[in-house]
Amino acid sequence: MQVDTPQQETIITEIPSQSLQLSSSNSDTSVHVNYIKIIRSINADNIIDIFPSVVKHIELTSDKVERLELIQETRKVLQCQENMDVLVEKDLLPAIINSAIELFDCEQSQSVQFELMSIICLFPQSHLTEKTLSRLHGAAQSSSPLIRRQSLVLVMKTVPIETSIKFLLAFLDDDDARVRSTSVQNLAVIVSEKQSTLPMSFYHKIVESLSDTHDEVRLRSVEIVANMAFQHKAQLVKIPGCTSRQLTVIQHAFMQLCMLMCDTSTAVRIKTAAILGRFTEVDPEFLVQTLDKKMKPYMKLVPEGVKVKQEFSAGRVWGGDAPIKTTAGEINIINPASCGAFVHGMEDEFSAVRQNTVQSICELSMSCEEFSEVAVPHLIDMLNDEIQSVRLLTISSLQRITQNIELYEDQLETVLSVLEESNVEIRQSLHKLLSSAKLNTQVSVRRVLKGLLDNLKKYPQDCSSVYKCVRGVGDNNAVYAALLAPELLSKHPYLYQTEPNTDDNCYIATMILVFNAAKHNPIIMSMFHEYTPRHYIYIAGLLPDLVPHLPQVYKQQQATVTSYNTQFMLDSLNTLLHRFVTLSKSQDFNVLQKITDDIMKIGRLSNSIRSQSSFLIKVLNIFLKLFKLRFYIIKSEAPCADRIKDKVSEIIANLCELGCVFRGGQTEVTAVLLRFYAIQFLKLYVPDASVTEKELELCRSHVVERLKSCRTAVPHSILNGKRFNIFQWFESQPNVISNDITMSTATILSPASNTEHVHEFPSHLSLSLHLEAETTHLTPGDLAVKIVYPGSRTAFYQPHVDCTLQDYYESTVFVGEQSWSNPGTLRISLVLPCNLTRDSDAVFNRLYGKDKAWVDVSDIVLLKIHPKTPR
C-alpha cells in the first residue's frame, strides 16, 4: 500500500508524541496502523528519513503482537537490496544492528527473537562485530527450536567452514527435527556447493542420520554420505563383530544407501535410486547383491575355529535331499536390509523411483560387465511396466547395455511383445534395441525377423525404422542368418519359386537382412536365385545407405550402379555448374534451362547425391529467375508492378530456402553471397524494388561478418565497395559442390494422399488430422504444417509435437471450414519457418512484405474434405 509524500510528512511529525502516549496507555491502535502503512511505503528514496523513526517506535512498543508485526514488516523492507545498499552507503547499519541486539537481549517472546535474528541474518557479514556474533552464536543454546535453527543459519553465514562443520554436527542429535534438518541442509551445502571435504571422523555420525525419524534429515543425509564416500573411497571401515575383514568407505556407503530403497518417504527413495548409479567403483559382488533379496553366501563370514555342520534332508520335498550347511555364529558382511535394493526399486509403486532405478542399473552396467549380465533379465521384465516413460527408459537402457551381451530366446518373447505397442516412440526405440543386440541362436533371428515383418504389416509407417533394424540384425548375426539363408531366400530342393515383387516392403526388409549378412558371410551369395542380383541392384539404388556393397554381385551382373560412382557424379555437377557460369553471358534461357534439366536427371540416378543436385538446382533456378525478371523489365514497355512484386517475392522465398534447408560444404558461403548478389541485382535492374544504397551497404557489412565467421576469404569487390560478380567467384572455386552437403527434408508417412475417400464432418466442428513424418537433418519441433484450402487460402499451424524421437514428427492438426456444396481438396505439407526480422534481412522483409517466410521441406499430401451444414 502506497502513501503520498505529503501525508507521510504529516504523520511523521506526529510520531514522537503519539509514541510516548502509546507506551504509556498502550490502547491507541491508530498509531500502529499508521506505522504499518509508513513501513510498507518505504523505498530507497525515503528510507533515510523514515527508518530511524521506525526503529525507535519498535523499541517503545510494549505490545508483543504489535511489535512482532512491525518487525515482520521491517524485515520485508530490508530484504530489498536497494534499501540495504542505501543504509550501507549512509553508514546507518551499526546503529540498527545495535538496536536489534538490544531488543534481542531484552525480548521475552521467542517469536519476536526469531524475527530479530532473521533481520540480523540479512545484514552483510562485514558489519557484524565479534561481540555481536558471539552473542548470536550463544542463542544456539536457546530452548526455542526456531531460534536454534536461525542461529545455525547465522553460523553458516559468518563462521569459517571448518568451524561451522563442527558446530553443525553437534546439532545432529538435537531433540527437534527441524533443527536437525537445518543442520543437515547446511552440511549438504558445504559438501556439494562449496566443494568442501568433511573429515572421515564424522562419517559414522552422518551415517546415523540415515535412520533419522524426519524425512528431510534422511533425504539430505543421502547426498552427504555419497559425497563423503567419493572423497574417502580408499579408507577402510570395520565390520561389526569381525576383525579379519574391512570394507572400503565406498562399499560401506553403497550398502548403507541400499537400505533406504525401502524407506517410507517417496522423496528419499527417489533420491537414493538416482544416486546409487554414481557408485561405479563398487565391487561386482556388492552390485550383484542388489538384484537378489536373499543374501549371497559370499556375503557371510565364518569365524575361525567354527565347524560347518552338514546333513541331508528327509526327502519329503522335491529336491530336498540336497545337503544343508549350517554354521553357528555367522557374520554378515552387510546388513540384510540392503539386499535386493534394485529389486525393491523396480517394484516400487511410484514411477519416479522405478525410472531412477532403471537409470542407475544402466549406469552401473556400463561400468561392470558381470553386473550387466545379471541385470538384463530384470530390465527386460521392466518392459511390462504400466507407465510409458518407464518402458521408454528401459528400452534405451537395454540398448546401451546389450552391445556387450546376448539376448536369449526366453527374453525375446517379452521384447517382441512390445512391437504391438501403438506408441511410435516405443516401437522405434525397440527397433534400435534389436538392431544393436546380439542373438545367440538361429531361432532367435527367425523370431526377430518375423516380429519385425508383423510390425511392418500392422504399422506400414514404420517402414524406414524396420529397414534400419533388419540391417543391424544382419550385421550382428551373420552366422545365424547364413543358417537361415535358404529359408529367407525361399530356396527349395526341386520346386522353382516365382520371382517376388520388389515393391513388397516385407520382401525388401528380408533382403536387406540377407545382403548385410552376406557382407560378413559370403557363402550366402552362393544361394542367391538368378533374379536376386537384379533385385540387389534395384534395392541398392533405392536404399543405398542400408545395403552394403557386394562386388561379387556386380561382377556376376557385369554392371556398375551409379550410386557407387558418387565422386564421378559430383565432378559432373561441378562441370555443369561451370558450364552454366560460362554460358550465363549469352542469356540463352533455353540452353541454361537445359543444363538445369541435366542436373535434375543426374540427381535422380542416386539418392547419395540428392542433396548436392537439389542445392545446385536451387542456385541455378535463382539465377534464371533473376535473368528472366531483367529480360521482362527491359522488353516490356509498361511492366506490371504486381507481377514484378510476385517475382521478387518468389526469388526471396527461394533464397530463404537455400539458407534454411541446406548445410555443410560451401552452402552457407554460397547462400550469403547469392543473397548479396540478388540485392545488388535488384538495385541495378529492378527500379520497382527501390533498394537503397543504405540497404545495400548494410547487407555488404553483414556479408563480411558472415564470411569471416566462416573463415572464408572475402571477395575484394565486396571489401572495396564495388560491384560484386558472383560468376567470377564461382570460376575461382574448383569444387563448390562437395560430398558433405546435407538437405533438411521430411517425409509424411500419415496421412497418405487419397482423393477418392472424402472426409465428411459438420461445418460447425473441426476435423482432426493426425500427422506422422520422418525427418532428416532438422529438429521436428521447428516444423509447421501448411494447409492450402480450395480457393488458395493458406494457413500455417505449428502445433505441439507429441513425439520426442530425434528424426520423427508426430502431431495433430484441426481443420475447419464453412459448409461447402461439394467436396474440396486440401494440400498438406510440412514447412520450416525462416525469420526475416534481423537487421541484415530488413530489405528482404520490406520486399517480401512479411516477417517470416515458409520453406517447404516435404511433398504435398492431397486429401478431400467436405464440411456439411448440420441438420
Give the per-residue pLDDT at 304. 56
pLDDT, residue 404, reads 62
Strands 324-326 and 246-248 turn out to be unpaired
Whole-angstrom CA distances from 534 to 482, 554, 559 are 20, 9, 10
Query: Contact 583/576 with Cβ under 8 angstroms?
Result: no
Read off the C-alpha cell for 49.
528519513
State how far the Cα of 384 lies from the Cα of 411, in Å rounded to an integer: 12
pLDDT of residue 561: 44
The pLDDT value recorded for residue 688 is: 78
Q: What is the 8-class DSSP label of residue 830? A: E
Query: Which triple of cell numbers denotes residue 436?
Result: 544393436
d(CA 528, CA 515): 10
pLDDT at 19 (0 to 100): 39
Q: How far apart are CA 436 and CA 367, in angstroms?
A: 18
pLDDT of the residue at 474: 93
Query: Could you give the count of Cα atoms lying within 13 Å of 497 in the half-sphere of its Cβ?
Result: 16
Beta strands in 764-839 (DSSP E): 767-776, 784-788, 794-797, 808-815, 824-835
> What is the mean pLDDT for each group of 10 consecutive residues in the chain (871 residues)?
36 37 47 77 74 73 76 77 76 73 68 71 66 60 67 65 72 79 82 76 86 89 89 81 76 91 92 93 90 79 55 55 54 79 93 94 91 91 91 91 79 90 88 90 92 92 92 92 91 79 92 93 88 88 86 61 64 87 81 88 81 91 89 83 87 89 89 89 83 85 86 84 86 85 90 87 86 87 89 84 77 81 87 82 80 89 86 67
Q: How far is CA 409 from the centre of its chain?
A: 34
Maximum pairwise Cα distance, the chain:
120
Helix axes 424-436, 409-417, angle to 10 degrees: 160
- For 760, the 3-state DSSP assignment is strand
Q: What is the pLDDT of residue 47?
A: 73
Distance, in Å, from the CA atom of 300 to the CA atom of 136, rounded to the nearest integer, reads 52
Q: CA dihedral in degrees (145, 148, 150, 155; nearest 10)?
A: -160
- DSSP for 63-114 reads -HHHHHHHHHHHHHHHTSHHHHHHHHHTT-HHHHHHHHHHHHHH---HHHHH
Q: Which of 472, 520, 555 is nearest to 536 (CA)?
A: 555
Report whether 331 contacts 350 (CB < 8 A).
no
- In three-state form (DSSP H/G/I as H, E/B as E, the rest C), the secondary structure along 585-624 is HHCCHHHHHHHHHHHHHHHHHCHHHHHHHHHHHHHHHHHH
Note every long-range contact of 416-423, with CB atoms under 8 Å and residues 24 or more positions apart, other chains counting: 416/447, 416/448, 416/451, 417/383, 418/383, 418/391, 419/451, 419/452, 419/454, 419/455, 420/458, 423/388
User: pLDDT at position 136, please?
Assistant: 58
